[in-house]
């Protein structure tokens, strides 16, 4: 299981990601990745977590390693723990993992491989009146900076300063913010294990409030946590401009109808700048393009499709 598990995971993703039917393929991949990454079912019944060797490996998305079913480790939790550890200080393994996924896929991870992204997308399907913050461009642009601040303060500075001041820091993002941890780990563990319920205090109330806020805003706004709060998305976003998996727009075929930009769940201006840090490579733009001018994927050999269109 230890050697076969990760390769089965990768092959499952590749087999389901039929890029010709990107919309259906993406949902299948999201469900497969969420299920395969959290497949240790006894944990949900007993209120314990998986403790086998597979947990040496990081999962690509925001998948709490304290989730009762989690078979792998959360890259962001591991990064914070390494920064907070006085003996290790920096984990080349975790950084290398994030760099490798970033260089190959960019924020494809957010669009296809993150369980918490899937959770928000499903919530957004509930039919209530929707709201697009990008209708107020100034507000939208300012809100985009929040996840950068969360990355710097909660993922890097607080764990490092905690370690320098008291000798051992703590993963501040996991402790004070991460709604994925509350949803995937806190609630299932408390539901199955009475001793955790007795220990819950103001911190759990605070984190439950954050989760509730994410749930409510997800009903109105597409992926609010991914857009404005997620530090892992911010990290992968740095690689979007150079990643191998990318958006390409054929400027000769594009008729500037704007359908792609209207469809984009992350409010990206696709023809002008498809590979901005906000693009999650979901492929919705390519699916709605009436002229087939948008290609979302790995480079084709000797293709007529051009790189990103220059800004008009």
Sites of contact with another protein (CB under 8 A): 49-51, 53, 55-58, 64-66, 70, 72-74, 77-78, 81-82, 85, 88, 91-97, 99-100, 102-104, 170-171, 174-176, 178, 181-182, 185-186, 189-190, 196, 199-201, 203-208, 239, 241-244, 307, 310
Least CB distance to another protein at residue 149 (A): 20
CB 205 within 8 A of CB 141: no
As measured in angstroms, the least distance from the Cβ of 219 to another protein is 23
Q: Which is nearer to another protein, 97 or 228 (CB)?
A: 97
What residues contact 74, with CB distance under 8 A and at least 6 apart? Answer: 58, 59, 62, 63, 64, 65
Q: Are 43 and 129 spatial neighbours (Cβ–Cβ below 8 Å)?
A: no
What Rg value do the Cα atoms of the chain yield, rounded? 20
At closest approach, how far in Å is the CB of 96 from another protein? 3
Q: Sign (positive/negative) of CA torsion 281, 287, 291, 296? A: positive
Q: Are 139 and 112 in contact (CB under 8 A)?
A: no
Q: Which is nearer to another protein, 102 or 283 (CB)?
A: 102
Torsion of Cα atoms, 124 then 19 then 284 then 245, to 10°: 100
Residue among 38 and 91 whose Cβ is closer to another protein: 91
Residues listed for the chain: 312
Least CB distance from residue 21 to another protein, whole Å?
A: 28
Name the residue among 193, 42, 35 with its Cα closest to residue 113: 35
Cβ closest to another protein, residue 203 vs residue 216: 203
- Cβ 244 to another protein, closest distance in Å? 7
Least Cβ distance, residue 66 to another protein (angstroms): 4
Q: Which is nearer to another protein, 161 or 196 (CB)?
A: 196
- Shortest distance, position 121 Cβ to another protein, whole Å: 22
Output 112 or 239, the one with its CB closest to another protein: 239
Nearest residue (CB) to another protein, 93 versus 161 = 93
* Whether 247 contacts 105, CB under 8 Å: no
The Cα 309–Cα 312 span in angstroms is 8
CB of 144 to another protein, least distance (A): 22
Q: Are 52 and 3 in contact (CB under 8 A)?
A: no
- Rounded to 5°, the CA angle 44-77-104 comes to 105
Residue 249 region, left (φ>0) first, then alpha (ψ -120 to 50), else beta? Answer: beta
For residues 99 and 161, which CB has a smaller minimum distance to another protein in the complex?
A: 99
């Amino acid at each position: 299981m230890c050697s076969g598990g990760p390769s089965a995971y990768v092959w499952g993703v590749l087999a389901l990601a039929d890029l010709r039917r990107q919309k259906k393929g993406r949902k299948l991949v999201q469900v497969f990745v969420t299920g395969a990454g959290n497949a240790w079912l006894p944990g949900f019944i007993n209120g314990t977590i998986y403790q086998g060797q597979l947990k040496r490996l990081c999962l690509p998305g925001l998948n709490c390693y304290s989730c009762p079913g989690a078979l792998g480790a959360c890259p962001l939790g591991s990064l914070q723990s390494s920064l907070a550890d006085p003996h290790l200080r920096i984990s080349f393994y975790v950084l290398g993992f994030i760099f490798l996924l970033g260089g190959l896929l960019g924020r494809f991870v957010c669009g296809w491989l993150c369980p918490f992204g899937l959770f928000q997308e499903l919530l957004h399907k509930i039919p209530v009146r929707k709201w697009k913050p990008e209708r107020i461009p100034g507000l939208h642009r300012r809100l985009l900076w929040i996840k950068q601040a969360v990355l710097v303060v909660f993922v890097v500075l607080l764990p490092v300063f905690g370690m320098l001041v008291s000798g051992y820091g703590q993963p501040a993002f996991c402790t004070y913010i991460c709604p994925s941890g509350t949803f995937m780990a806190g609630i299932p563990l408390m539901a199955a294990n009475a001793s955790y319920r007795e220990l819950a205090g103001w911190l759990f109330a605070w984190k439950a409030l954050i989760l509730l806020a994410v749930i409510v805003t997800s009903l109105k706004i597409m992926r609010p946590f991914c857009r404005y709060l997620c530090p892992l998305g911010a990290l992968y976003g740095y690689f979007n401009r150079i990643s191998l998996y990318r958006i390409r727009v054929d400027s000769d075929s594009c008729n500037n109808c704007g359908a792609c930009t209207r469809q984009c769940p992350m409010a990206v201006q696709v023809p002008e700048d498809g590979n901005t840090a906000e693009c999650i490579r979901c492929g919705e733009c390519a699916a709605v393009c009436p002229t087939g001018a948008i290609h979302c994927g790995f480079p084709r050999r000797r293709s007529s499709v051009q790189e990103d269109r220059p800004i008009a």
